[in-house]
Structure 1
């Protein structure tokens, strides 16, 4: 039995209440964190292995000595961890790694930077990142990063292509080399439902929100940040209202009219998004969750961390740091082309698969390992998850196996032949 320890905020099989999620911040400030850790856990759940979950940051529940005694390998999925606010957690993870003698694999880490600048960070960030990467490479042949900008940043710190591999975000490979997508040939119905996501700290999005809320009566805001969960549960928030047009106060139409949802787990998030014809907004993992559910999505990129992933995975996107005027759901839906994303997905998955193999990790998409994915999905299907906060209670029942629905959609999708060079 191979014993893997996965760094994550919580196990995807747990079903905490919304109040508990808020009180203990079980989403790590952003529910998007649950998507990539969910994908990694499913991917590595091969027969004959166990995957446990623990925090390795300042809130760690296991000491390095306990980790070394209980586990054979540590896997650390990360997002934009190379940023100032994350430094205390990054240093804590480094400290843990430095005390281990077992293999450590890092997947999907990225740098946070403004778009249009060279990928730089304050010196204190560079020092912590250097310590972290050195610690990882003492236990690993390479480190997996989100995109070319992060690779460029690490090269500036002295870590070249021999030890840095661009693999994108592991969340995109939840279903291996398949990325089923459904899209109607009809234009988006302005009266129908549309899923919207937002980084509520972006003042430049305020006029977009105001316009889209008025234009699309079926628009539903899928929030991701912990402060919005507090607003929904408690009716108030300590967040400074930077613009009344943003949904960060109780009187905003998206809040007051019940047009906001907050998913508490990856399963119900994808299930909910599967019922929408289109998703768009500034949240990269909000849109990735939609794509994994088969729903076309469009990214409004406002910084390097978002644009880096959208470019690597060829997700339709637009740079709102350059031009935010004229953002409209129906226009984005009409102009977007998801063909490059789906056509190149298998090749990107092959790169991710080779990265895992080079680290001695098997996955459920390897020959003969599919039973692991089936067991994972069946275990998820047996759970009853709380619906997203704000979701109407009528009709909510036991969670169904999302993967089964995705696979049935995949059979209806014609994928281009894979080409190898």
Structure 2
């Protein structure tokens, strides 16, 4: 059985500074204000991170009592000179979830220093860039150093799509495979069970975007996705699922009873009133949610008819629960992943011109879902082979191969 150190942001569990054997970190407390959600956010960052990072934990067949989730930089700081020997004696692999790490402004100096001292096999899933990088010179020097190191040391370096692969090849880096996002491989039976859906005025559906105060008040003049997103929601009443943007609502951060930890629901009355008072905006959303656990997210998604939104992993949570999802292609990441898997997608301009009802009828039709499922099936066996060629095994290997037929 393999002992794996997962360097990821998969779980909203507080990590012990001085852990005793046979113990776990604590879950988040039952808080009721937005301000009190900040510690849980610090554990994972953008809540979409949980979806792809959790997937790797669920997929790999490991010795679960000898494996762990953590942060390599923190461990390196705690152990000092004993770090390298500790990794050799305790782990057979280090697995990293690394979405969006190739981008301007990211400094990976600390991670590079740590990985240089790791001499057990490295495996990376989901590597990619969110926006195109035309000139590698705009990247921090540590990003190129990290790419060179991963290219040299990885047993498997999984990248998300064609554009990321082309960029890496342009740098002379060829030790990688295009695998998409691991979150699409956890529940293949649920994804292949998705049925056609339609829109009606009384249906319940979910969306997500970048609806934050600082994305709508004009303080980010180059960022138009939030206002464009709201333009496309005119005349409809979806639920809205937050990922990170809830922390821009300074005036209501400390207001009690805004958040219900049991259901993940935020007060629609408070949030809608905030935007009406501050920006004169009448938001179109029925309910608001924030989830600390992916399982809670999936359970919620089972209660909606479909997802249509500007957040990739918000839609994946639906797919994992067997709910159809349509992705608004607003950045390279969504384009890469939807193209790789053949997933239903639209654009802001198409959505604005045609309306939600027409887009759902087109993209959640039997024909569109057949295209998606056909492309999806083709991705399953290569994923199994790539993981196994790295010396790892999959818990759901037989399910993936059966779904590929």
Q: TM-score range by the shorter chain?
A: 0.7 to 0.9
**Unaligned runs of at least 5 residues, structure 1:** 237-246, 371-414
Distance in 1 between residues matched to 2:72 and 2:290, nearest whole Å: 26
Q: 2:42 is paired with a residue of what secondary structure?
A: coil
Q: 2:385 is paired with a residue of what secondary structure?
A: helix
| Structure 1 residues 18-417: aligned runs within 5 Å | 21-23=37-39, 25-26=41-42, 28-46=44-62, 50-56=66-72, 63=79, 64-65=83-84, 66-85=86-105, 87-88=106-107, 90-114=108-132, 119-125=133-139, 127-160=141-174, 163-176=175-188, 179-184=191-196, 187-200=198-211, 201=215, 202-210=223-231, 212=233, 214-217=234-237, 219-225=238-244, 227-228=246-247, 233-234=253-254, 250-252=274-276, 259-320=287-348, 325-326=352-353, 328-336=355-363, 337-366=368-397
Once the two structures are superposed, residues 28-74 of structure 1 have per-residue CA deviations (whole angstroms, 9 ceiling, x without a partner) of 43100000111100001446774310123579776543433421110
Residues 8 and 21 of structure 1, relative CA distance in 2, 3 Å threshold: farther
Q: 1:272 is paired with a residue of what secondary structure?
A: helix
Q: Tell me by how many angstroms 1:124 deviates.
A: 4.6
Distance in 2 between residues matched to 1:319 and 1:256, nearest whole Å: 19
Paired residues, number:
351
Conserved 8 A contact 2:103-2:130:
yes
Q: Tell me whether 283-292 or 199-208 shows the greater mean CA deviation.
A: 199-208
Conserved 8 A contact 1:178-1:346:
no
Conserved 8 A contact 1:41-1:51:
no
**Unaligned runs of at least 5 residues, structure 2:** 14-25, 216-222, 257-270
Q: Tell me by how many angstroms 1:339 deviates.
A: 1.5
Q: 1:361 is paired with a residue of what secondary structure?
A: coil
Conserved 8 A contact 1:25-1:226:
no
Q: Tell me by how many angstroms 1:80 deviates.
A: 1.1
Residues 235 and 203 of structure 1, relative CA distance in 2, 3 Å threshold: farther
Q: Tell me by how many angstroms 1:94 deviates.
A: 1.9
Q: Tell me by how many angstroms 1:259 deviates.
A: 1.9
Distance in 2 between residues matched to 1:305 and 1:261, nearest whole Å: 24
Conserved 8 A contact 1:287-1:297:
yes
Distance in 1 between residues matched to 2:159 and 2:355, nearest whole Å: 32
| 1:6 to 2:6 alignment | yes
Residues 93 and 192 of structure 1, relative CA distance in 2, 3 Å threshold: same
Q: 1:192 is paired with a residue of what secondary structure?
A: coil
Conserved 8 A contact 2:310-2:330:
yes
Conserved 8 A contact 1:35-1:171:
yes
Q: 2:88 is paired with a residue of what secondary structure?
A: helix
In the alignment, which residue of structure 2 is the partner of 1:408? Answer: none
Q: Tell me how large the CA RMSD over aligned residues is.
A: 3.3
Q: Tell me whether 254-263 or 151-160 shows the greater mean CA deviation.
A: 254-263
Q: Tell me by how many angstroms 1:301 deviates.
A: 0.8
Residues 276 and 48 of structure 1, relative CA distance in 2, 3 Å threshold: closer
Conserved 8 A contact 1:299-1:317:
yes
Q: Tell me by how many angstroms 1:92 deviates.
A: 2.2
Distance in 1 between residues matched to 2:2 and 2:320, nearest whole Å: 28
In the alignment, which residue of structure 1 is the partner of 2:267? Answer: none
Q: 1:108 is paired with a residue of what secondary structure?
A: strand
Distance in 2 between residues matched to 1:69 and 1:259, nearest whole Å: 49
Q: Tell me by how many angstroms 1:326 deviates.
A: 2.2
Residues 327 and 258 of structure 1, relative CA distance in 2, 3 Å threshold: same
Conserved 8 A contact 1:102-1:139:
no
Q: Tell me by how many angstroms 1:298 deviates.
A: 0.5
